[in-house]
Structure 1
Amino acid sequence: MSRTDAEVREPGGGVPPVVGEVEEIAAHADIVVRNLRITHCYHRLARALAARTGGAANWCTFAVWASKQVGQTIRQEDLVRAVERLLKSSPEVAAGVDLVVRGVRRAVPRQTLDHAHSVVRQAVVATARLDDVSAAAARGNLKVFEEIAREFARFLAEFGEVSTGRDGRIREFCDALRPGEPPEGQRYLRQAFARYHRAMTTRDEKRRAELLFLANIEVGLHEQTRLQPEIAGALEAPVVDPRELEQRLFDLLLPGNRVVRWLRLVLLTVLGRRAAVRIASEQLADQARRVVREAVTRHLMTLSLPGGEVLDLSTDLPATFPPLLTELADPELLELLRIVDPTPDSVAGTAARDWADLLGRMHYIADMFRCHAVRADLLDPPFTAEQVDALQAGRRPDGVL
């Protein structure tokens, strides 16, 4: 086996995924397992293309870690904990919780009253519609994968073996993509794959680095434009409906069968506290909505990379440009950067203050692509061999995901 073939193959003898496998993964019914398989598939695509382009990062390289981060949102692991932390630390929410507890105090059993504040916060988390955030993240993860991963698989199947003199074939490949602007058109993908092809055949390292960087931005711009509805949906999902919150509060704070709960509610009414509880629930719902949205926004604006590095996308990118990309020369690259990068040749101002702002996201993403273009550990496997075996069997793996 040649060195190039060895680099393309994964540890364990795997080969780059083909279009049929991408389609099979996209059709998987379990959204958790599907996300994990998507992440692993991106890894295989990233390694295959990197082996043909000098080991540098491509769009799939970054998609691995973005998809892995999305998996945490889909599984709601860190998100629930983040919401709980912010609810507990917010003075406004604490005051609202205390108001609710005072309202129901006389109708609540003593053993329940002892931990009533915790129960109220639990009710807030339960009514925050984090399932809607998870569903929006899963939709976006699938939407991007079933379109873009399919084209990377098609590209590698067609051009996996590096050879020159195939300009006609790359034109045919790109012509199969839709013309026009995103979200429906695929102009940026057409341009990006033509550049990936040139990066596979050029011997000029500087030229290759700039071609890859430009292609990565073009795929990223297409992806982020397509994702705009899902990102907005995830940010807008937390509602905390006051009526739903009030009902959940009564379910948790007034234990017993239906008759007992009804009697306790009658007692609240007789004591003149039922209206006070409703008002307190409405105020708490307003306060909690703000806090939960803040938690969701922070969660969506976090990206974990290999080695335990965690990027906070609301702060300027803590990195520098590699030598090959310190000074840029490609005119088409410079033209696109004028659109997406308002602070040329600097990571200053890359902080994305509003993740729903497309160009704000692209500013951070473009500089992240540039800074980490030759970072070798981004090609490390996102999962262990045992976890991959479980995924290939269609099961959710054990261990940290």
Structure 2
Amino acid sequence: MHIPLPDEVAAITAIGDPTIRNLRITQCYQELSSVLTGRTGLVANWCTFATWASKQAGQSIRREDLLRGIEARLAPGELDELKLVWRIAGNLGVGTLLQQSLQEIIRDTWLVRVVDRISEAVGRGNRKVFEEIGWEFARFVSSCFQDQVFDQQRLDAFCSGLRPGNPPHGQQYLKQAFTNYYNAFFETDPQLRTELQLQANLEIGFHEQTRLQPEIAASLNAVFAVNKRMITEKVIDTLFSPASWLARIRLAYLKITGNTSQLEMALDQLMVRLQVIVREQLTIHLMTLTLPPDERLSLGKDLNKPYPEALMRLSCASLVAMLAEIDPTPDSVLETGAADWASLPERMHFIADLFRCCHLDPALYAPAFTPQQIAAMKAGRLPAGRL
């Protein structure tokens, strides 16, 4: 079994290629997960879930099918705003030329930049979390994992490397989480041991999600961050080429008579409508998580999974207290779907129940990649096959 150490985490974090870096992060999470389950048995730790979240993030980082999927759902020809653009362009005598070029302009001038922003934001978040939490897991494994008897001094030495205070700047929740993992190693009551491990997962999840808030918001709002006005400018340049003095004279005349303002206003209305549609599609894409063997979860819908028998009723006071703060529907998966993934409370409600439902799910330990893919990524190459 490969045991990732802090130096390896630092080396992966430093990889410049976001695609290769993401693949290495995903694999490293799975290796860290395997190390911990080697001691705890098949009980999910935070890295177990991080493996599949990072693998999902890789689709956005690689822009995998995202652009094509959005284009397929746009159906701009059915929009009243587009019909208005065609009518005004026809009155200006440029309707045919505009119909030939507008879709390409929207795609290449605006939509590609939106997808690029999403890829960059997801890549930043993927790296940011791994750089901090992956490092701490590797440090924990290298310093505390082999202890056969409880050693308070060793635990204190590990925790001294964590910053006091709450996230996003403090690491108090990480301190609590690794303390609970360590205590679980030596807990003889199987029920309490399981609940301590779940609490540790939730504490790291809360820290992670608080730290990721800027990147999640940037991903979901990428469609509004790219200036839609550039479409109008590109259309005008296409219809009235700067290289043709006759076209520019005609444009000047149309501006003086107020005719181009109608086209510009219609294009602005079209782009506002497209922003809304694309934002909806991006939300669907970003709020999807695939778990093995091939279970696609929509993060906007209630979980349709039961709690394992061992976690139907909870007895650990600190775990119950934490869930009272983050789970507004106690001991139930009702209303777990997050209407707005940019909302930290809604995310944590979903995550709390997801972690609890899947805590003992053996399917989570399926390999994320084939041995050939792992060898390729560790050699710095993009692996072949489905990633």
| TM-score past 0.5 threshold | yes
SS state of the match for residue 376, structure 2?
helix
Separation in structure 2 between the aligned mates of residue 350 and residue 90 of structure 1, nearest angstrom: 36
Amino acid at match of 1:323: E
Query: CA offsets, 1:177-230, max 9 Å, x none?
Result: 111111111111111101111222234322221111000000000111111111
Which position in structure 2 is the counterpart of 1:100?
85
CA RMSD of aligned residues (A): 2.4
Query: CA offsets, 1:306-340, max 9 Å, x none?
Result: 12211101110110100111110000000000000
After TM superposition, the structure 1 = structure 2 runs for residues 384-395 of structure 1, keeping only pairs within 5 Å, are 384-395=370-381
After TM superposition, the structure 1 = structure 2 runs for residues 97-246 of structure 1, keeping only pairs within 5 Å, are 97-105=82-90, 115=100, 118-119=103-104, 121-123=106-108, 125-126=110-111, 129-239=114-224, 240-246=226-232
Q: Which structure 2 residue ranges, 5 or more long, are not aligned?
A: none
- By how many angstroms is 1:71 displaced? 1.3
Is 1:75 the counterpart of 2:59? The answer is no
- By how many angstroms is 1:26 displaced? 0.5
Which position in structure 2 is the counterpart of 1:3?
none
The number of residues matched between the two structures is: 382
Separation in structure 2 between the aligned mates of residue 98 and residue 138 of structure 1, nearest angstrom: 38
SS state of the match for residue 238, structure 1?
helix
CA distance 1:330–1:340, shift in 2 (3 Å): same
Is 1:47 the counterpart of 2:47? The answer is no
Which position in structure 1 is the counterpart of 2:383?
397
Separation in structure 2 between the aligned mates of residue 128 and residue 165 of structure 1, nearest angstrom: 53
Separation in structure 2 between the aligned mates of residue 360 and residue 345 of structure 1, nearest angstrom: 16
CA distance 1:130–1:45, shift in 2 (3 Å): same
Mean alpha-carbon deviation: is it higher for 165-174 or for 127-136?
127-136
Which position in structure 2 is the counterpart of 1:28?
15
Separation in structure 2 between the aligned mates of residue 282 and residue 330 of structure 1, nearest angstrom: 56
Is 1:61 the counterpart of 2:45? The answer is no
Mean alpha-carbon deviation: is it higher for 113-122 or for 316-325?
113-122
Query: CA offsets, 1:225-260, max 9 Å, x none?
Result: 111111122222212533211233356x659x8525
Amino acid at match of 1:202: E
SS state of the match for residue 383, structure 1?
coil
Separation in structure 2 between the aligned mates of residue 162 and residue 177 of structure 1, nearest angstrom: 20
Mean alpha-carbon deviation: is it higher for 277-286 or for 39-48?
277-286
- By how many angstroms is 1:121 displaced? 4.9
Amino acid at match of 1:79: L
Q: Would you say the 8 A contact 1:350–1:364 is kept in 2?
A: yes
Amino acid at match of 2:131: E
Separation in structure 2 between the aligned mates of residue 375 and residue 41 of structure 1, nearest angstrom: 20
SS state of the match for residue 367, structure 1?
helix
Mean alpha-carbon deviation: is it higher for 46-55 or for 154-163?
154-163
SS state of the match for residue 125, structure 2?
helix
Q: TM-score, normalised by structure 2?
A: 0.91
Separation in structure 2 between the aligned mates of residue 38 and residue 278 of structure 1, nearest angstrom: 46
Q: TM-score, normalised by structure 1?
A: 0.88
Q: Percent identity?
A: 44
After TM superposition, the structure 1 = structure 2 runs for residues 319-334 of structure 1, keeping only pairs within 5 Å, are 319-334=305-320
- By how many angstroms is 1:134 displaced? 1.7
Query: CA offsets, 1:292-312, max 9 Å, x none?
Result: 222222222111111221110
Amino acid at match of 1:26: T
Separation in structure 1 between the aligned mates of residue 107 and residue 93 of structure 2, nearest angstrom: 19
Amino acid at match of 1:16: I
- By how many angstroms is 1:67 displaced? 0.9
Q: Would you say the 8 A contact 1:87–1:121 is kept in 2?
A: no
Query: CA offsets, 1:69-99, max 9 Å, x none?
Result: 11112222243234223321795xx222333
SS state of the match for residue 321, structure 2?
helix
Which position in structure 2 is the counterpart of 1:249?
235
Mean alpha-carbon deviation: is it higher for 287-296 or for 123-132?
123-132
Query: CA offsets, 1:332-370, max 9 Å, x none?
Result: 000000000011110001111111111110010010000
Query: CA offsets, 1:264-303, max 9 Å, x none?
Result: 4654665665323211211112111112222222222111
CA distance 1:269–1:291, shift in 2 (3 Å): farther
Query: CA offsets, 1:78-137, max 9 Å, x none?
Result: 43234223321795xx22233333444465595x66755643653575365222222111
Amino acid at match of 1:376: P
Amino acid at match of 1:39: T
Q: Would you say the 8 A contact 2:163–2:170 is kept in 1?
A: yes
Amino acid at match of 2:243: V
Separation in structure 1 between the aligned mates of residue 105 and residue 323 of structure 2, nearest angstrom: 49
- By how many angstroms is 1:382 displaced? 1.2
Mean alpha-carbon deviation: is it higher for 346-355 or for 72-81?
72-81
Q: Would you say the 8 A contact 2:86–2:99 is kept in 1?
A: no
Separation in structure 2 between the aligned mates of residue 71 and residue 25 of structure 1, nearest angstrom: 15
Separation in structure 1 between the aligned mates of residue 189 and residue 218 of structure 2, nearest angstrom: 43
CA distance 1:248–1:51, shift in 2 (3 Å): farther
